[in-house]
Amino acid sequence: MPFPNVRLSNRPLHFIYLCDCSGSMAAQGKMQALNQAIRQSLPGMAEVARQNPEARVLVRAVRFADQAAWHLAEPTPVQQLHWRDLEAGGITAMGAALELVAGALQSPPMEERALPPVLVLISDGQPTDDFEAGLAQLMRLPWAQKAVRLAIAMGHDADLDVLQQFIGPEPAGRGRSPRRPLQASNATTLAQYIQWASTAVVGAASMPASRVVMPGERPAATTPPSGSNIPLPDLPPTLLDPIDDVGPLVW
Amino acid sequence: MTWLLPEGGTLQFKGLDQPLRILRGLGGGTQGQVFAVELGAPGSGEQLALKWYFPSCIARDPELRARLRQSIGLGAPNGDFLWPLALLEPQEAQPAGFGYLMALRPDGFVGAHLHAGGSLEISLQNVLKACFHLAEGFHQLHLKGLCYKDISLGNLFLEPGSGRILICDNDNVDIDGQGQGSVLGTPGFMAPEVLLGQARPGAASDLFSLAVLLFRLLSRHDPFRGARELAIRCLDEPARRRLYGEEALFIFDPVDAGNRPDPVEHSAALITWPIYPRSLQQLFEQSFGIGLRQPERRTLTGQWKQALARCLDQRQLCPHCGQETFLDPDAERHCWSCGGALPKPIQLQLPHGRVVAAAGNELQPHHVDALAGEAIDQPLALLVPHPSDPSLLGLRNLSQHTWQGQLSNGQQIALEPGRTCNLAPLQRLDSHAGAILVIRP
Ligand SMILES: Nc1ncnc2c1ncn2[C@@H]1O[C@H](COP(=O)(O)OP(=O)(O)OP(=O)(O)O)[C@@H](O)[C@H]1O
Ligand SMILES: [Zn+2]
């Protein structure tokens, strides 16, 4: 006779893409690269969701150009998700996109109990609307404060300061960190970051992974670094553009 | 996935006299990637698995190489571990880093999280067998003076049709109390003293993690997710620290009812807990009660083995619904599944144990030999239904010896290896190892 048909109760994990669809994304195939990267990442994301008894991974997406609008409004189980292509054209209403997401993270519609949401902001330029107001509205919400917030800068024209504000306080030191905007200067790197966010980060936010201490560190450090309530996984080893992450070029 | 080693390529490693072919990448985790490889002549060489570490993992764990060497030298505790077989360092500068060879996991083994997630068809008997193998594996590992440090669902594979297990990710194994390996464990499985930063993982914290893993396999639920979980809105790291550390309270704590399962949200726990006999429940109460703060009071691997083996011996099929039940056959009992009264079963009395006569139950060497530790991988006999009339139950001789049976009318029969005798007329069976008496209610 089979084991009784029961399971550990699970919680929703809301994963929301905020995608820049401004006119500049049409250049150099950036829009296509983003569509490809997201589409290619879905099987891996579905596999993480399948392996994870504690989470129900639900995906949504916002597009922003002249305005912000839901591109995928319904929280969709990743296993059932078919990615429709985003199209570029217009300016960069990033603040409006944050307000839209704020509406989704209010309770209701947010469930009473959930796992930390994951928000991934992808942009190649500067906001053209009131970014500060949008961010303030978002960050008033407890679910936004608890969320894992990641940002991917496409190309070298993205506004890194704005993206850093979205993520939160900049970590000390230099170098690549998930708490800094991730700089994707080519399609391969973009795909690696999207894959990382949709698999490793989703895993970390939903099911705790093995915890390690650095040599010399005291083991009391099982609390994640301040500014986050989820320990983020290592970034994937990527082929770096030689001028990414070298620090300021001129000062 | 970008692979660290070239798929289809051939690499030379120090100490290997033959080149190693990288067949394909199998997957990647946080520490590195695993490849299917072939050693020896293409097509007819030995197929193995190779774990290759990320540089970041090597950098944060300076003792990794020495630990692997030590484990390779000591050898696997038993066959249930995908143990490191050889350390591989490249002969040339590229690829940088190192890895180790282990056996390839055979098809048919699936990640234990599938079971916890409710999406695996497996019998209760095989879940109990898997739990027994788990207790046995860590028993052997601890007896060698080693500790594992990161027992969790993620490092366990199950074969649903047999209850066999494989324990992977053995690269944190160290001599208990020694070494400063970097791993602390997996939240949800870590002992409170490790989670709260008061101790390093070792054999005592392994016992806690083992109890959690056994509970999760047997209940498809979590030992600390009860009323207190419902009070948590966002289940993040600080919340987990409270739930599993600072404020940890077992959902079935016999005295403190402050964290009982919710009938709707935690129904799995409420359905599965009554399946198991008191003797097994008490071991959980001990590890998650007094053992929560006093590591030396945690249930020992030997105690788990004994209780789990006893549970398997008590397996009885409900005559009303067919479900497997495991309660003490000498008490008044009701089926956990349909509620029907369970009749007193026929039992087989052996010199050192008593086994309920139910199809699928087995007689083990430890039932006849007081000195043999509990083991379930080489049964002496198996209870089987007759192939065309399943209402007839028989006992199959799995040994290499012919046994003598005595029927209730005084007649003698010989039971050759591999043959099965009908239990109905049987009074006793003299096996090469000891007498088997049929006890009727
Ligand atoms: N011996 C093996 N045979 C076959 N597949 C294996 C073997 N060992 C590991 N794998 C598979 O390779 C993949 C990566 O394994 P690895 O142990 O590196 O990852 P993990 O356990 O996910 O990571 P972590 O180290 O973060 O726990 C997994 O999908 C695992 O199932
Ligand atoms: Zn029944």
What is the rounded average pLDDT for all residues in chain A? Answer: 88
Helix (H, G, I), strand (E, B) or coil at A161: helix
Inside any domain, residue A240? no
Burial class (CB in 10 A: 0-12, 13-18, 19+), B322: exposed
User: What confidence score (pLDDT) does residue B95 get?
Assistant: 74
* Per-residue confidence band for B179, with pLDDT thresholds at 50, 70 and 90: confident
* Per-residue confidence band for A248, with pLDDT thresholds at 50, 70 and 90: very low
Inter-chain residue contact A8 with B117, CB threshold 8 Å: yes
Does residue B60 sit at the A interface (CB-CB below 8 Å)?
Answer: yes
Indicate which residue's Cα is closest to atom 21 of ligand 1.
Answer: B29
* Same CATH fold assignment for domains B10-103 and B344-439: no
> Which token pair is B339?
């509620």
CATH number at residue A164: 3.40.50.410
Neighbours of A51 (CB within 10 A): 17
Residues B230-237 have a mean pLDDT of 94
Going from N- to C-terminal start, the domains of chain B cover 10-103, 110-306, 344-439
- C-alpha separations of B162 from B47, B219, B302, B338 in Å: 24, 19, 22, 26
* Of the candidate ranges A240-249, B121-130, B427-436, the one whose mean pLDDT is the lowest: A240-249
User: What confidence score (pLDDT) does residue B235 get?
Assistant: 94
Inside any domain, residue A218? no
- Minimal CA separation from A208 to chain B, in Å: 6
pLDDT above 70 coverage of chain A, percent: 88
pLDDT at B1 over 80: no
Q: Is the peptide bond before B95 cis (omega within 30 degrees of 0)?
A: yes
User: What confidence score (pLDDT) does residue A249 get?
Assistant: 47
Q: Which residues 351-370 of chain B have a CB within 8 Å of chain A?
A: none
Q: Tell whether the torsion through CA atoms of B111, B117, B123 and B127 is positive or negative.
A: positive
Residues B42-66 have a mean pLDDT of 91
pLDDT at B432 over 70: yes
C-alpha angle B195-B200-B201 in degrees, rounded to nearest 5: 80
pLDDT above 90 coverage of chain B, percent: 87
Does residue B272 sit at the A interface (CB-CB below 8 Å)?
Answer: yes
Q: Which of B113, B271, B272 sits opposite A53 (nearest CB)?
A: B113
Q: Which of A4, A200, A210 sits opposite B271 (nearest CB)?
A: A4
Q: By the 8 A CB rule, do A230 and B237 touch?
A: yes
Instruction: Evaluate: CB of B168 within 6 angstroms of ligand 1.
Output: yes
Inside any domain, residue A68? yes
Total structural domains within chain A: 1
Indicate which residue's Cα is closest to atom 30 of ligand 1.
Answer: B27
pLDDT at B76 over 80: yes
Distance CA B305, CA B309 (A): 6
Instruction: Evaluate: CB of B383 within 6 angstroms of ligand 1.
Output: no
DSSP state of A208: P
- C-alpha separations of B22 from A125, B35, B47, B53, B135 in Å: 43, 7, 10, 15, 35
Distance of CA B157 to the CA centre of its chain: 9
Inside any domain, residue A154? yes
Residues A143-151 have a mean pLDDT of 96
CATH numeric code, B344-439: 2.60.200.20
User: What confidence score (pLDDT) does residue A26 get?
Assistant: 93
DSSP state of A63: E
Which positions ≥6 away from A61 have C-beta within 8 Å? Answer: A16, A17, A18, A19, A70, A71, A72, A86
DSSP state of A122: E
User: What confidence score (pLDDT) does residue A208 get?
Assistant: 79
- Among all chains, which residue has been given the structure tokens 């282990």? B102
User: What confidence score (pLDDT) does residue B220 get?
Assistant: 95
Taking the alpha carbons at both ends of chain B, their separation in whole angstroms is: 62
pLDDT at A221 over 90: no
User: What confidence score (pLDDT) does residue B119 get?
Assistant: 84
What confidence tens digit (pLDDT) does each residue in B212-228 have?
A: 999 999 999 999 999 99
pLDDT at B201 over 50: yes
Does residue B184 sit at the A interface (CB-CB below 8 Å)?
Answer: yes
A218 to chain B: which residues are within 8 Å by CB? 197
Tell me which of A204 and B227 has the higher pLDDT.
B227
User: What confidence score (pLDDT) does residue A228 get?
Assistant: 66
CATH numeric code, B110-306: 1.10.510.10
Distance CA B167, CA B112 (A): 10
The three-state (H, E, C) secondary structure of chain B, written as one string: CCCCCCCCCEECECCCCCCEEEEEEEEECCCEEEEEEEECCCCCCEEEEEEEECHHHHHHCCCHHHHHHHHHHHCCCCCCECCCCEEECECCCCCCCCEEEEECCCCCCEEHHHHHCCCCCCEHHHHHHHHHHHHHHHHHHHHCCEECCCCCHHHEEEECCCCEEEECCHHHCEECCCCCCCEEECCCCCCHHHHCCCCCCCHHHHHHHHHHHHHHHHHCCCCCCCHHHHCCCECCHHHHHHHHHHCCCCCCCCCCCCCCCCCCCCHHHHHHHHHCCHHHHHHHHHHHCHHHHCHHHCCCHHHHHHHHHHHHHCCEECCCCCCEECCCCCCCEECCCCCCEECCCCEEEECCEEEECCCCCEECHHHHCCCCCCCCCCCCEEEEECCCCCCCEEEEECCCCCEEEEECCCCEEEECCCCEEECCCEEEEECCCCEEEEECC
Parent domain of A197: 11-168+185-206
What confidence tens digit (pLDDT) does each residue in B59-72 have?
A: 889 999 999 999 99
Inside any domain, residue A241? no
Inside any domain, residue A248? no
Neighbours of B228 (CB within 10 A): 18
What confidence tens digit (pLDDT) does each residue in B322-376 have?
A: 999 999 999 999 999 999 999 999 999 999 999 999 999 999 999 999 899 999 9
Inside any domain, residue A90? yes
What confidence tens digit (pLDDT) does each residue in A168-192 have?
A: 999 888 778 899 999 998 888 999 9
Residues B167-181 have a mean pLDDT of 91
For residue A32, give the amino acid letter. Answer: Q
b/e sequence B260-273, b meaning 16+ C-beta within 10 Å? bbbeebbbbbbbbb
For residue B136, give the amino acid letter. Answer: E
pLDDT at A63 over 80: yes
Which of B5, B22, B26 is the best mutation target for the ligand 1 pocket, counting ligand atoms within 8 Å of the beta carbon and taking the most? B26
Phi, psi (deg, nearest 5) at residue B382: -130, 135
pLDDT at A240 over 60: no
Among candidates B142, B132, B197, which has minimal Cα distance to B362?
B132
pLDDT above 90 coverage of chain A, percent: 67
Among candidates A53, A12, A55, A115, which has minimal Cα distance to B113?
A53
CATH numeric code, B10-103: 3.30.200.20
Element (H, E) at A69: strand A68-77
Number of alpha helices (DSSP H) and beta strands (DSSP E) in chain A = 7, 7
pLDDT at A239 over 70: no
User: What confidence score (pLDDT) does residue A243 get?
Assistant: 47
Q: By the 8 A CB rule, do B385 and B396 touch?
A: no
Distance CA B365, CA A208 (A): 40
User: What confidence score (pLDDT) does residue B174 get?
Assistant: 96
User: What confidence score (pLDDT) does residue A73 get?
Assistant: 96
* Per-residue confidence band for A218, with pLDDT thresholds at 50, 70 and 90: low
What confidence tens digit (pLDDT) does each residue in B6-36 have?
A: 999 998 888 788 889 999 999 887 789 999 9
* Per-residue confidence band for A246, with pLDDT thresholds at 50, 70 and 90: very low
pLDDT at A222 over 90: no
Instruction: Using a cut of 0.90, tell me whether the model's pTM lies above it.
Output: yes
ipTM of this complex = 0.87
Distance CA A29, CA B224 (A): 50
Distance CA B66, CA B77 (A): 18
What is the rounded average pLDDT for all residues in chain B? Answer: 95
Inside any domain, residue A103? yes
User: What confidence score (pLDDT) does residue B253 get?
Assistant: 98
* Region at B188 (left for phi over 0; alpha for psi -120 to 50; beta for the rest): left
